Amino acid sequence: MWDFSTDPEFQEKLDWMAAFVKEECEPLDRLYPGMGAPYDITNHKARALVRPLMEKVKAQALWACHLGPELGGQGYGQVKLALMNEILGRSQWAPIVFGTAAPDTGNAEIIAMFGTQAQKDRYLKPLLEGEIVSCYSMTEPQGGADPGQFQCRAVRDGDEWVITGEKWFSSNARYAEFLIVMCVTDPDVPIYRGASMFLVPRATPGVNILRNTGVFGEPESDYSHGYIRYEGVRVPADALLGGEGQGFAVAQARLGGGRVHHAMRTVGQCRMALEMLCERAVSRHTKGSALADKQLVQAYVADSWIELQQLRLQVMHTAWLIDQGHDYKSNQVPIAGIKVAMAKVMHDIVQRTIQVHGALGLSDEMPLAQMWIHAMMMGVVDGPTEVHKLTIAKHLLRNAKPAPGLFPSAHLPPRIAAAREKYAGRY
């Protein structure tokens, strides 16, 4: 059965969320617009505003819904989570308010999956409560998309591991209570078997944030992507998350669901852009009529709606596939597909929306330039577009067979001859 309906009980929850995000979360985006601002637990004024909102979300049983009931969530499948994330995507602060902000969601999931009881007690509990935030520290300055370039090493020394190396674009490191650091533990085997994950409290001596990098011209005080030098950082043997050499197996587990949530938040952003595009089209007049009356502008609207609809269905279908009991690995291709599509669709819709807003669209008086940069980010974070396209292409090409002879199997002359022979005397 193909079924595109949402059950009415869950729709009521979505309606509550939509109103709550608009009225309570979107104003926070205006007060604290920095990309890292929702994670700044040292901003006591902002935290005082957010805490009661978190309580309201918990009272609605909508807190951290990606988690199973044993961890205080609802155990919702990916389809429900996708519909929720479409709403959360409208506000930068909403994911924090609903306990579903990346990278904390993925970090919590891998601690829940691979962590020891002691690790769960120390890190998972306060993370799930929203009392602390965390950082995922993997990319290095000399190589992000190619893990084969990673150099940050962890070397065993008695009961301890000693971490030495540099990490780059470790988001929210400055606010994080702890970092999950990917390190090379065996340089003599391929990186996919020679890397391990470590749980490192940020206060550990030797965790030195050289500087924080900002994006899209945000003020320096908001810069939140840490360039970190780990200088002989000593952690106990039990700081290892998962087994030695399992770093990439652990990393894969955190990306599947996260990409679906990211994609659906992007759908939410695209929907906002389309709303702005339509409003502008019917508001602005030039050469004797509204922009909405110009056919070129009508094409912008139609193209944007079509692309948004295609993306939304593609994401929902991927979420559905995962819910059918197939794991993330067997859905690698659809997940890569939405990762690529979301960056392109958001780029194109936001670009048209900026265009019809003219100078205003480019100005800091509209959120559009920031949204456009976000679209660019989508094409880089969690692996660049090109790498995901390679995944898709490799899969398709692996299943393709060479033509049986000189000409392609779709070559018409032999097909016509075969058809004539099949229906000889009857056509």
Ligand X SMILES: Cc1cc2nc3c(=O)[nH]c(=O)nc-3n(C[C@H](O)[C@H](O)[C@H](O)COP(=O)(O)OP(=O)(O)OC[C@H]3O[C@@H](n4cnc5c(N)ncnc54)[C@H](O)[C@@H]3O)c2cc1C
Q: Could you say whether residue 370 binds ligand X (CB under 6 A)?
A: no
Q: Could you say whether residue 245 binds ligand X (CB under 6 A)?
A: no
In the bound complex, what is the minimum distance in angstroms from residue 183's beta carbon to ligand X?
Answer: 12
Q: Choose between 78 and 212: whose C-beta lies nearer to ligand X.
A: 212
- Residue closest to ligand X, measured at CB: 144
In the bound complex, what is the minimum distance in angstroms from residue 77's beta carbon to ligand X?
Answer: 26
Q: Choose between 262 and 357: whose C-beta lies nearer to ligand X.
A: 262
Tell me the site size for ligand X, rule CB under 6 A.
Answer: 23
Which is it for the CA torsion 197, 171, 70, 250, positive or negative? negative
Cα angle: 49, vertex 51, 55; to 5 degrees: 130
- Report how far apart the first and last C-alpha atoms of the chain are (Å, whole number): 38
Residue with tokens 């909403």: 94
Q: Could you say whether residue 211 binds ligand X (CB under 6 A)?
A: no
Q: Could you say whether residue 103 binds ligand X (CB under 6 A)?
A: yes
Q: Choose between 138 and 162: whose C-beta lies nearer to ligand X.
A: 138
Pick the closest to residue 278 from 292, 264, 268 (CA basis): 292
Q: List, as own/partner pairs, every contact residues 377-384 make where C-beta atoms lie below 8 angstroms and the sequence separation is at least 24, other chains included.
A: 377/215, 378/262, 378/266, 378/339, 378/342, 378/343, 378/346, 379/343, 379/344, 379/347, 382/255, 382/258, 382/259, 382/262, 382/339, 383/145, 383/339, 384/145
Contact 235, 163 (CB under 8 A): yes
Q: Choose between 134 and 304: whose C-beta lies nearer to ligand X.
A: 134
Q: Could you say whether residue 93 binds ligand X (CB under 6 A)?
A: no
> Residue from 34, 115, 144, 165 that binds ligand X (CB under 6 A)?
144
Window contacting ligand X (CB under 6 A); options: 47-55, 343-351, 378-386, 418-426: 378-386
- Tokens, residue 325: 């009991």
Window contacting ligand X (CB under 6 A); options: 24-32, 137-145, 280-288, 289-297: 137-145
Binding site for ligand X (CB under 6 A): 103, 136-139, 143-146, 169-171, 215, 225, 377, 380-384, 386-387, 390
